[in-house]
Chains A and B, each alone.
Chain A
Amino acid sequence: MAEFEVQKTQENLVYSRTKVLTDNVMHYCPGCSHGTVHKLIAEVIDEMNMQDKTIGVSPVGCAVFAYNYLDIDWAEAAHGRAPAVATAIKRLNPDKMVFTYQGDGDLAAIGTAETIHICNRGENVAIFFVNNGIYGMTGGQMAPTTLIGMKTATCPYGRDPKLHGFPYKIGNIVSQLEGTCYVTRQSVNTPAAVRKAKKAIRKAFENSLAGKGVSFVEFVGTCNSGWKMDPVAANKWMEENMIPAYPLGDLKDI
């Protein structure tokens, strides 16, 4: 077989990894949505030329190590407190582009008050919220977003509203608050969805720079380890169960 070298030139370069992603190998399970969302945020920061002006706040949850993957300055917040941390960072650094990255346990259970109040104050911050319906990091316990009937380590017979209460849509709640300007629910289950999600991230960041208030971008995501499925089955299960319960699209855009 003849050997040949591929010449990388400007003309034939169709894709390269953004410089905002570090060389670190991600710890996420294959098939997990976090990695895709990370990449999209990194690309948008790069495309906006804002690497030196972006400060991220990572959660407690699987995305706690987001700071190892995006080459920007980061604060790691206590569980649920990222919105409070981001509030101060943005108030004290109005020229910076500030965002939080949170899971459903972090944002919609332990951090509910912080979430509601950052939205109500209308801080100029972007919130990226990955809703995988489960507590990934701690090994698959019930989340506030766990679907009725869905089995987790702490509702092994399926979520029963009589025992565990109901799943709730925090996106719909924050869309009611005066301080949010953009609330949208996206996913990264198909190439088309990935492109749409990236546009939503860009819009959220641009809103924050324009001083329009909180932009809240929810990503309905998979947790194939927590759901005990292979990546393809998890994606399918999400499309058939999670997305009908958490319909995609804009809830608010002003």
Chain B
Amino acid sequence: MKEVKLMKGNEVLAEAAIRCGADAYFGYPITPQSEVMETLMEKKPWETTGMVVLQAESELASINMVYGGACCGKKVLTSSSSPGISLMCEGLTYLAGSELPCVIINVSRGGPGLGTIQPSQGDYFQATKGGGHGDYRLIVLAPNSVQEMHDFVFDAFDLAFKYRNPVMVLSDGVIGQMMEKVVLAEQRPRWTEQEIIEKCGDWALTGKTPDRKHNIITSLELDPYAFEKFNQKLVEKYNKVRENEVRYEEFMCDDADYVIVAFGSSARIGMKTMEMAREEGIKVGLLRPITLFPFPEKPIAALAERVKGFLSVELNTGQMVEDIKLAVNGKTPVEFFGRAGGAVFSPEEVYDALKEKLIK
């Protein structure tokens, strides 16, 4: 029997974490995502699945707890919002540098600084280009519905373990706070010790038994040439991710003259704009990147061959637009429209921008 419920995005994250068989959640309260840990604490999964839930003293601590759990081959996640994610960036680069699977959820809000508690997509660069130091990538999934908040927790863990890489779910305050219908997956069992040894035994800290060498999780190397090789190995991994894991959705792009590119909650607003334009006979399509890294470069490049222009619509001052420009490579105009700092645009505003910047 399918279990269908009306739920808030943040609550669904907690529900999905339990149901996907996560071993632990570590977090620190911050608006607009505090309901994630509140829901987990209320549900007491340690009494049912055995999942550990712990409120840390800071995001620095929570991300390093994630590191500790991930070191042991456990399914571990954390969630936070923009200022908290900034604090986690040290941990993120260590996680990437030690090739540890884990899930980080950012229900982002307006920045920079302490900023606002309203929704924003100002953390696109931080999520897709780094945040922490060094050459590393997170795999980044961008949900645009409460259903995807649920589904992407499952997908994120699958990707994390497939590539031994941290995966970020980049959401925003709109998706975190809104209520929608959601189909809940059945409870998955947590991995047993034996399963962890089978899946991750060649690297995870499961205790050094006489039949194997000791496992060490570290990102330290004294020899620059050896570490260059390691960097190269990461590049190869990221290229595999680029080849295999790109996800996006296209709406009415087949005959489109103009294409709106938007992710997360912006894509929902952009959809409305697209409908308004279509009603007036203007052929507008929409492309929604679902993975922000890997970015859907190829489909955008393909559209660039025949459309009259792209409009990148973002809740920031222009970040993803740079990736669109790289993909389009000058073949057709790429314009940007956004609002920032927690302010949200209406479909009409996007439509006006489309007319002003592209349709003319």
Query: Which residue of B54, B60, B205, B210 contacts A89 across the interface (Cβ within 8 Å)?
Result: B205
Those of B84-98 within 8 Å (CB) of chain A: 90-91, 94, 98
Cβ of B65 under 8 Å from chain A: yes
Cβ of A55 under 8 Å from chain B: yes
With A53-B207, A67-B218, A91-B54 given, is the CB distance from A75 to B90 under 8 Å?
A: no
Give 30 pairs: A residue, B residue, CB < 8 Å, sorted on A: A54-B207, A55-B205, A55-B207, A58-B218, A67-B216, A71-B208, A73-B205, A73-B207, A75-B67, A76-B98, A76-B217, A76-B218, A76-B220, A78-B64, A78-B67, A78-B94, A84-B60, A85-B67, A86-B68, A87-B61, A87-B68, A88-B24, A88-B26, A88-B64, A88-B69, A92-B74, A92-B76, A96-B207, A113-B58, A114-B57
Cβ of B234 under 8 Å from chain A: no
Cβ of B41 under 8 Å from chain A: no
Query: Which residue of A72, A73, A92 contacts B24 across the interface (Cβ within 8 Å)?
Result: A92
In the complex, residue of chain B having the shortest beta-carbon distance to the beta carbon of A114: B61
Query: Which residue of A54, A64, A114 contacts B220 across the interface (Cβ within 8 Å)?
Result: A64
A91 to B65 Cα, complex, angstroms:
10
Q: Give min CB distance, B73 to chain A, whole Å.
A: 10
- Are B209 and A117 interface neighbours, CB within 8 A? no
Those of A81-110 within 8 Å (CB) of chain B: 81, 84-89, 91-93, 96
Residues of B near A93 (CB, < 8 A) are: 72
With A67-B218, A84-B65 given, is the CB distance from A72 to B72 under 8 Å?
A: no
In the complex, residue of chain A having the shortest beta-carbon distance to the beta carbon of B93: A78
Residues of A near B65 (CB, < 8 A) are: 84-85, 87-88
Those of A50-66 within 8 Å (CB) of chain B: 51-55, 57-58, 64
- Are A75 and B71 interface neighbours, CB within 8 A? yes
A22 to B244 Cα, complex, angstroms:
41
Residues of A near B56 (CB, < 8 A) are: 84, 117
A92 to B208 Cα, complex, angstroms:
17
Query: Which residue of A51, A72, A89, A114 contacts B71 across the interface (Cβ within 8 Å)?
Result: A89
Query: Which residue of B61, B64, B210 contacts A52 across the interface (Cβ within 8 Å)?
Result: B210
In the complex, residue of chain A having the shortest beta-carbon distance to the beta carbon of B215: A73
Cβ of B66 under 8 Å from chain A: yes
In the complex, residue of chain A having the shortest beta-carbon distance to the beta carbon of B204: A73
Cβ of A237 under 8 Å from chain B: no
Residues of B near A72 (CB, < 8 A) are: 208, 214
B33-63 CB mask vs A (1 if < 8 Å, else 0) is 0000000000000000000101011101110
- Are A117 and B57 interface neighbours, CB within 8 A? yes
Residues of B near A78 (CB, < 8 A) are: 64, 67, 90-91, 94
Residues of B near A71 (CB, < 8 A) are: 208, 214
Cβ of A245 under 8 Å from chain B: no
Instruction: Count contacts on A: residues with CB < 8 A to the other chain.
Output: 32
Residues of B near A51 (CB, < 8 A) are: 208
Given A76-B220, A81-B61, 5 additional A-B pairs, CB 8 A: A64-B220, A67-B214, A73-B214, A91-B52, A117-B57
Those of B79-117 within 8 Å (CB) of chain A: 90-91, 94, 98
Cβ of B23 under 8 Å from chain A: yes
Cβ of A170 under 8 Å from chain B: no
- Are A74 and B205 interface neighbours, CB within 8 A? yes
Residues of A near B94 (CB, < 8 A) are: 78
A55 to B69 Cα, complex, angstroms:
12
A6 to B71 Cα, complex, angstroms:
45
In the complex, residue of chain A having the shortest beta-carbon distance to the beta carbon of B207: A52
Q: Give min CB distance, B25 to chain A, whole Å.
A: 11
In the complex, residue of chain B having the shortest beta-carbon distance to the beta carbon of A19: B210
Residues of B near A86 (CB, < 8 A) are: 68
Q: Give min CB distance, B107 to chain A, whole Å.
A: 22
Cβ of A155 under 8 Å from chain B: no
- Are A73 and B52 interface neighbours, CB within 8 A? no
Cβ of B187 under 8 Å from chain A: no
Cβ of B206 under 8 Å from chain A: yes
With A92-B72, A113-B57 given, is the CB distance from A85 to B205 under 8 Å?
A: no
